[in-house]
Structure 1
């Protein structure tokens, strides 16, 4: 991994662990094993580097989700596969955790990739649920957009509940509950 990549990956990890304020240039340099000159050679400063790191985390979330949503199986099987995808529930979502960071949310540039990936995820779930309804997998009473938003909320809320309880099983219960609610509308 070259210096620029080490800086980006180190910033991604630190943002996930510590948030924006806790991710100092010094911490980035220490984690990446690079010097101040290298950091400022590749990036104008912390905000520039943070934007690249946040964008990469959002793209990774989108790419992992797309791999499941465009994979084999019925719409409901793909939704289930995404919801049950292996995650480190106690660590939380690297993108979702940024919504708790006031500095990221106050900066339109830093917030943009966070907002965009969750909007994309809601649209992707909505499409899968619409497809399920059209294919007769789900009944017509199901509102795909509202259900999609609820599923994204379950995922993000499941992380919060699991972290609060220090128990990854709480995340699994949230997913199981969401799938049980979907099953009510299944044919």
Structure 2
């Protein structure tokens, strides 16, 4: 891994662990094994590096989600695969956590990839659900966009509940609950 990639990966990890304010240039450099000169050779400063890290996290999140959404099976099976995939629930969502970070939300450039990722996720889920409705797998009365927004809200809320409880159990219950609601819309 080159220095630029090490800096980005270190920033990604620190943003997830500590948030924007808690991610100091010194901590990034120490974790990356890079000096200050190297950091400023590749990036204009902490905001530029944080933006690169957030973009990479967003790209990775989208790619992982797309594996399930584009996979085989019915719409419900693909959404279930997405919701049930392995996650580090107690660490929270690396993008959802940024949406709760006041410094990220206050900066339009840092907030943009977070917002775009959630827009993409809701849109992609809506596409999968609409496909299931069109193929007769899901009820014709299902609202794909509204349901996709609800699924994302349950997922993000599940992370919050799990972190508050110090246990993955509330997350697991939330996912099981939303899957039960989706299964009630299945026609096959």
Same fold (TM over 0.5): yes
Query: TM range, normalised to the smaller chain?
Result: over 0.9
Partner of 1:125: 125
Partner of 2:136: 136
1:35, CA displacement in angstroms?
A: 0.7
Partner of 2:16: 16
Q: How many residue pairs are counted as aligned between the two chains?
A: 187
Partner of 1:95: 95
Distance 1:93 1:81 in 2: 17
Displaced runs of 4 or more, over 3 A:
none
Distance 2:12 2:174 in 1: 27
1:8, CA displacement in angstroms?
A: 0.3
Secondary structure at the aligned position of 1:71 is classed as coil
**TM-score, with length taken from structure 1:** 0.98
Partner of 1:31: 31
1:153, CA displacement in angstroms?
A: 0.6
1:43, CA displacement in angstroms?
A: 0.4
List per-residue Cα deviations over 1:75-113 (Å, max 9, x = no partner): 111011001011010011111100111110011100000
List per-residue Cα deviations over 1:46-91 (Å, max 9, x = no partner): 0000000000000000000111111111111101100101101001
Alignment of 1:1-187 (within 5 A): 1-187=1-187
Secondary structure at the aligned position of 1:90 is classed as helix
Stretches of structure 1 lacking an aligned partner (at least 5 in a row)? none
**TM-score, with length taken from structure 2:** 0.98
RMSD of aligned Cα (Å): 0.7
Secondary structure at the aligned position of 2:89 is classed as coil
Distance 1:154 1:88 in 2: 16
